[in-house]
A and B are shown apart, each in its own frame.
Chain A
């Protein structure tokens, strides 16, 4: 007998099925959680647990498994609770420890009961967290997805089914498919989806096969008599066995692809529950899309989709008597083009009658429907004075693209957020020289365009008319005002998503790069009828002369005690006069300009408008001011009072007060107030580019809050400011740019029109202006919906900004070698899809490292490569670049069919956060292939044939054989071959050796006899 093995470890015995299930679970969990370390820990821990020797005491094994489970659950669940963990007397730690204990002490997982218990405990934990911290009583769906994935991974890793067990319930299949389902919301690759869904099934089937090989104790083996012959046609057998289910699965899948969505056939008067379920289902479906056009086409050819559609329509018609022509439901399916929406939206808009009750909040004939697209706008015909002729022409419908947007090269719409409310002829200070007036720039009444950086005032001054007087009445200081306002009622979506570069920010080092860079342009602190606006007049303005050679110290702009970095900002001045500036800086050096107007109270700087961009360098800038570094503000009392004004109607004020008290809490600290409203907005008002506030008597913000309308950043910011003010927190809207698109190679942020953003600054208890962004993340469905609107109307803007920056840096320091040649960084850069930086999911914001973005879209790259001659990379004389600028624009750039830049931009934006996440994340399919195919293949090729331990019966027979040989020898020695007794002994021994059954007692007796004979002395 071999001595018992005292070792703790042995070589882990891992089946192929366990390996497949574990690898697919690990990859799926890594996709969901993006925590490769945790996944690796769980995987290695499970393998280590299986390497424990079976001889160790049971308690030790249970202790090892329990401690591993405890540590894993702790590591996974504690980050779900926001820091600090010591808040609430270490309750989060205690709760997470409780959940981990529940999972660790639950040894037996019959039917997956341990997994279900863990999921319930985690759901309870998250619910408690939401109630206590965030004060909203809704399900934590994203974190629940993560916890489902984690519990599934743990169940598969610790499952006893893959060891020697015949446990019949099969939780591993369900957990594996659940993991794949949760992970499928994070990627769009169909092949990865196929592999992730089939691997758990394959593991299950293989394990089933192995378990079914072992007969139960009632079944006896039938031994093979003839030697097994070589199988013929083995490959064909294997092919048929694997091909039949695959073929069948492929056919079924092609059939299911053609099944239409039931929500499309809902009748109009279906109950609200059905409609809301259809909406939620379509959102889910879009979020989990694994599309493949080739496959869809093939499916369309093979399986007849008309059959399904006919059947579905018949069923739908049976619900309703009269068949309908079109569905007016806000259908968000991808195959339903949004042209339907637009075409159905437009006639609705035009059909809306003129409502005199809304005159108070509208501008009469100028009350344009800001949410409609510009194509539907017609220059107003016969009004007194023929205003249309006075003002520059409104946007003409350009070449219509397939989605019905209008592309107007002569009238580029301004970015989102603000209504360019500047009347014509109103500059700041002195009247602008005519050379800055471009006749084809947008009129101020182009309300289709809305941006924070207000549009150009360069239109030719027109004679005011009575309506114009009415418009001017809205302002206190019309002659000196630069008014900017927030547009709350939505705008042209293509204007919101314009890719035109408005500012570029160059950092000195990557270390200073924040995750998301906020640049403040303007502060909007005055509540008016339309929303929030700003009036920049003579009050509070300080005019400072500026020397391009030496930096200017601006104490009022210093908000942070730390001096982090220096930036060079180049801003476009055609649309707005305000300069985008970081949160806190000490000194500024402005090139090519002599005076600067600043408003120290609001920390806004204004430079005169010009078609050339302005470059300025900012020193001692802190881009992410933390609480510790923030300095106290010196807000005057009058300003504080102004920040608390809510000049609205009584009903609106009461409503705001009630809402603020209810959601934010009447005595909660300001930060908690902010967080609560952040979550309130996130849950109640989804982010959408298609804002439509229903008309009504109240203020636009109040109407927006009352209906659960979707909103833009300006909506959230305005709503938060009003609510904060009604609770007594001075707050103001800050408009500017926010972008997380950082080019780590060039150390540059590019602020585009779609990066134009509005957030909030509120004054907290310690008299500091705290920046708070109430805008929730954009959902995937919305990203996809908005993809079509991304466009680039002014491709030259980025080039201009870069040129200006180069000029400025050369002007300061002509000897510095050209670090960034204009053409080289963008010519040599690979044509990779850019990482879109539209407001992404909250977790992504929380967890994304500083992304390594791609350079500008290939559009600009092709333009630059075509335009700039292959010049040496060291120096490009500015004159030549200027000449190339003014040289006739190469045809392929501007005059290509709108599809090309749009499709390129579409391609650019189609590589949305899923793709960008895929680019940053490791290639999951390749990793999965390596794990699931390559490693088992290597193990199979290197398989070690361990010597099979003989069964006890066989060992007995061998012993009997040895005794037989010994007996033969002894009989020959002692000459007892003829002795009948010994003959009988030998016969019984040979029967033990070769006979049907062996008996250990018999063999033992015979062994004793043989030993006695061996002891006998020879005669």
Chain B
């Protein structure tokens, strides 16, 4: 296998290097004028150190090959991503001292620097673990570039043009704080103040809720015994919060979320909302632009977050209002770039608001 072509190297003098160079030139000029022997020694040492430092820096960094990889497919914005950096030193003799690599998001160019506090010996490959963070949601690529090193005496900074790109990572929007209880326009439900004894009796009639049969309910839920007694179709619902879960609806229309900023903020708030409601186990599913995502299990939650991360404001108009249904909430814009959970969808709400 042929070695990769050597990337080009730039060597720039640091402050110390400039000091050494200037001192060397000054000493050389003074020696030429005054012929003081120690000045010759000092000038030669300084200039030789400067020249050799730059040559060695260039030579050592020319053998560096860089590979960035990550096995993590998704990460939250602002949270570190577990990535691996592989540095290979193809030189025969020269090591690479304390190389540092810049890792950035490919499109947005937010950069972070990681330094390996050690030497990469010749013909050796080291694997490093780094944790870059992603700043923007969406499908992102991490890019490792500009490996550089202060060769041992830090007189020069040698920088190589090698770069490497990681596979795609889905960056979820960062959750921003949200007061969920105020959103839900219901007082928080404390089902059982006691420690849970009465939850055992949730299947009994005392803990149940009796309601009529609404068309659309599953027919298996009909309690025939009670229905016979009451002469109407009746359903006994045990007080199982598991059934009383909300369905959310989210429209990503531009009319609802006019600006990018509002859209991003909405996404963040929705992330918080969904995570909070799913933690409380009061959410059943969410419909995102006609796509229904159940949110009962963790895997489904992840799927939803992925969809949320890759969503963009769509140009289509919001749907026609659906008649309000129980436990269906719509996520609508609110002033101060907040969101609002409303039992009805947007147009009606707007009409009510305009009234």
Nearest B-chain residue to A287, judged by Cβ: B36
B40 touches A256 (CB 8 A): yes
Known contacts A222-B101, A257-B40; is A174 also within 8 Å of B154 by CB?
A: no
**Once bound together, how far apart are the Cα atoms of A282 and B129, in whole Å?**
63
Q: A170 to B84: give the CA distance in the assembly, Å.
A: 38
**Which one of A85-93, A233-241, A737-745 is at the interface?**
A233-241
A184 and B37 within 8 A (CB): yes
Q: B234 in the interface, Cβ–Cβ < 8 Å?
A: no
Closest chain A CB from B16 CB (angstroms)? 5
Interface centre among B34, B51, B95 (most CB of A within 10 A): B34
Q: Is the CB of A284 within 8 A of B34?
A: yes
Residues of chain B lying within 8 A (CB to CB) of residue A211: 154
User: Which of A193, A224, A244 is B38 in contact with, Cβ under 8 Å?
Assistant: A193
SS class, residues of chain A in contact with chain B: helix
Asked if B124 contacts A231 (CB within 8 A), the reply is yes
Stretch binding the partner chain, chosen from A7-15, A197-205, A888-896: A197-205
Check: A281 CB closer than 8 A to any chain B CB. Answer: yes
Write the chain B residue with the least CB distance to A286: B35
Within 8 A of A (CB), among B315-353: none
The reply to whether A213 and B56 contact each other, CB–CB distance below 8 Å, is: no
Query: Does A209 belong to the interface (CB within 8 Å)?
Result: yes
Task: Indicate whether B200 reaches chain A with its CB closer than 8 angstroms.
Answer: no
A219 in contact with B114 given A237-B122, A256-B31, A256-B43 (CB within 8 Å): yes
Min CB distance B6 to A, Å, is 19
Stretch of A245-253, A389-397, A961-969 on the interface side:
A245-253
- Is B116 among interface residues, defined by CB-CB distance under 8 A? yes
A168 sits at the interface (CB 8 A): yes
Could you say which residues of chain A place their CB within 8 Å of the CB of B122?
Answer: 231-233, 237
Specify which of A198, A209, A225 is in contact with B152 (CB 8 Å cutoff): A209
Contact: A281 with B35, CB < 8 Å?
yes
Query: Given that A219-B115, A231-B119, A232-B123 are contacting pairs, would A285 and B48 also be in contact in the complex, using a CB cutoff of 8 Å?
Result: no
* A residues in contact with B35, CB < 8 Å: 261, 281-282, 284-285
A208-B153, A237-B94, A256-B43 are known contacts. Are A177 and B23 too (CB-CB below 8 A)?
Answer: yes
Q: Which residues of A have CB within 8 Å of B42?
A: 177, 180-181, 197, 201
Give residues 19-54 of B contacting A (CB, 8 Å). Answer: 19-20, 23, 27-28, 31-49, 51-53
How many angstroms between the C-alpha atoms of A232 and B119 in the bound complex? 12
Q: Are B124 and A229 within 8 A (Cβ)?
A: yes
Determine if B34 and A285 form an interchain contact, defined as CB atoms under 8 angstroms apart: yes
What 0/1 readout, one digit per residue, does chain B (240-279) give for beta carbons within 8 Å of chain A? 0000000000000000000000000000000000000000
Q: How far is the CA of A807 from the CA of B93 in the complex (A)?
A: 78
Known: A233-B93, A285-B34, A996-B80. A173 touches B23 (CB 8 A): yes
A222 to B87, alpha carbons, bound, how many Å?
11
Q: Is A223 an interface residue (CB 8 A)?
A: yes
- By a CB distance below 8 angstroms, the chain A residues around B52 are 244-245, 248
> Which B-chain residue is minimally distant from A239 (CB atoms)?
B93
Bound Cα distance A215, B101 (Å): 12
CB neighbours of B165 from chain A (8 A): none
Question: Is B203 engaged at the interface, CB distance under 8 Å to the other chain?
Answer: no
B197-236: CB near A (< 8 Å → 1, else 0) gives 0000000000000000000000000000000000000000
Q: Which residue of B lies closest to A261 (CB)?
A: B35
B196 to chain A, nearest CB (A): 11
Question: Pick the contact of B154 from A180, A208, A223, A262 — CB < 8 Å?
Answer: A208
Contact residues in B for A253 (Cβ distance below 8 Å): 40-41, 44
Question: Nearest chain B CB to A189's CB is how many angstroms away?
Answer: 11
Contacts of B113 in A (CB 8 A): 215, 218-220
- Known A219-B114, A224-B126: A245·B34 in contact at CB below 8 Å: no
A212 engages B45 (CB within 8 Å): no
Q: In the bound complex, what is the Cα–Cα distance between A211 and B153 (angstroms)?
A: 9
* CA distance in complex: A177, B23 (Å): 10
Name the distance in Å between A251's Cβ and chain B's nearest Cβ.
Answer: 8
* Nearest residue, chain A, Cβ from B51: A248
* Complex CA distance for A221 and B100, rounded to whole angstroms: 9
**Alpha-carbon separation in the docked complex, A259 to B35 (Å):** 9
Q: B15 in the interface, Cβ–Cβ < 8 Å?
A: yes
Q: Does B98 lie at the interface of the complex (its beta carbon under 8 Å from any beta carbon of A)? A: yes
- A-side contacts of B98, CB under 8 Å: 212-213
Is the CB of A289 closer than 8 A to any CB of chain B? Answer: yes
Given contacts A180-B42, A222-B129, A288 and B119 within 8 Å (CB-CB):
no
Docked complex Cα distance between A721 and B188 (Å): 118
For window 88-130 of chain B, which residues contact chain A by CB distance below 8 Å? Answer: 93-95, 98, 100-101, 112-119, 121-124, 126-130
- Closest-by-CB residue of B relative to A238 is B95
Assess whether B300 is interfacial by the CB under 8 Å rule.
no
Q: Is B155 an interface residue (CB 8 A)?
A: yes
- Verify if B85 is at the interface (C-beta below 8 Å from A): yes
Contact of B114 among A190, A221, A240, A244 (CB under 8 A): A221
Residue ID in chain B nearest A231 by CB atoms:
B121
Q: A215's closest neighbor in chain B, by CB? A: B115
Residues of B contacting A250 in the complex (Cβ-Cβ under 8 angstroms) = 44
Residues A197 and B32 in contact in the complex (CB < 8 Å), given A213-B117, A232-B123: no
- Smallest beta-carbon distance A161→chain B, Å: 11
Q: Is A82 an interface residue when CB atoms closer than 8 A count as contact?
A: no
Are B37 and A226 in contact, CB atoms less than 8 angstroms apart?
no
Write out the residue numbers on chain A whose beta carbons fall within 8 Å of the beta carbon of B123: 232
Residue of B nearest to A188 (CB): B37
Check A241 against B152 for contact (C-beta < 8 Å): yes
The smallest beta-carbon distance between A812 and chain B, in angstroms, is 56
The contact of B44 among A174, A180, A249, A291, by CB within 8 Å, is A249
B38, B46, B117, B131: the one contacting A288 at CB < 8 Å is B38
Q: Does B191 sit within 8 A of A, measured CB to CB? A: no
A336 to B98, CA, bound (A): 53
Residues of B close to A234: CB separation below 8 A: 121
Residue A228, interface by CB 8 Å: yes
- The answer to whether A228 and B126 touch across the interface, beta carbons within 8 angstroms, is yes
- Taking a contact as CB atoms under 8 Å apart, the answer to whether B38 and A223 are in contact is no
Q: Are B34 and A281 in contact (CB under 8 A)?
A: yes
A289 to B154, CA, bound (A): 33
Distance in Å: Cβ of A249 to nearest Cβ of chain B? 4
Contact B45–A201 (Cβ < 8 Å) = yes
The residues of A that contact B114 with a CB separation of less than 8 Å are 219-222
A363 at the interface (CB under 8 A from B): no
Residues of chain A from 608 to 658 with CB closer than 8 A to chain B in the complex: none
| Residue in B closest to A228 when the chains form the complex, CB atoms | B118
Chain B residues closer than 8 Å to A233, beta-carbon distance: 93, 122
Residues of B within 8 A of A218 (CB): 112-113
Residues of A near B93 (CB, < 8 A) are 233, 236-237, 240
Is the beta-carbon distance between B38 and A197 smaller than 8 angstroms?
yes
* Residue of B whose beta carbon sits closest to that of A230: B121
Q: Does chain B have a CB within 8 A of A63?
A: no
Whether B36 and A221, one on each chain, are in contact in the complex, defined by CB atoms closer than 8 angstroms, is: no
- Verify if A290 is at the interface (C-beta below 8 Å from B): yes
Complex-state Cα separation, A282 to B80, whole angstroms? 68
B150 within 8 A of A: yes
Closest chain-A Cβ to B60's Cβ sits at a distance in Å of 10
Interface residues of B (CB under 8 A from A): 15-16, 19-20, 23, 27-28, 31-49, 51-53, 55-56, 80, 84-85, 93-95, 98, 100-101, 112-119, 121-124, 126-131, 150, 152-155
A-to-B contact residues, CB < 8 Å: 168, 170, 173-174, 177, 180-181, 184, 190, 193-194, 196-198, 201, 204-206, 208-209, 211-213, 215, 218-226, 228-229, 231-234, 236-237, 240-241, 244-246, 248-250, 252-253, 256-257, 259, 261-262, 281-282, 284-285, 288-291, 996
A-B contact pairs, 20 of them (CB 8 A): A168-B15, A184-B37, A190-B37, A198-B41, A205-B153, A215-B115, A215-B117, A218-B113, A219-B114, A220-B113, A221-B115, A222-B129, A223-B129, A226-B126, A233-B93, A240-B94, A248-B48, A252-B43, A288-B37, A291-B37
- With A168-B15, A197-B45, A237-B93 known, 15 other A-B pairs at CB within 8 A are A174-B23, A193-B37, A201-B49, A204-B20, A211-B154, A215-B113, A219-B100, A220-B130, A222-B117, A224-B116, A241-B152, A248-B52, A252-B43, A252-B48, A256-B43
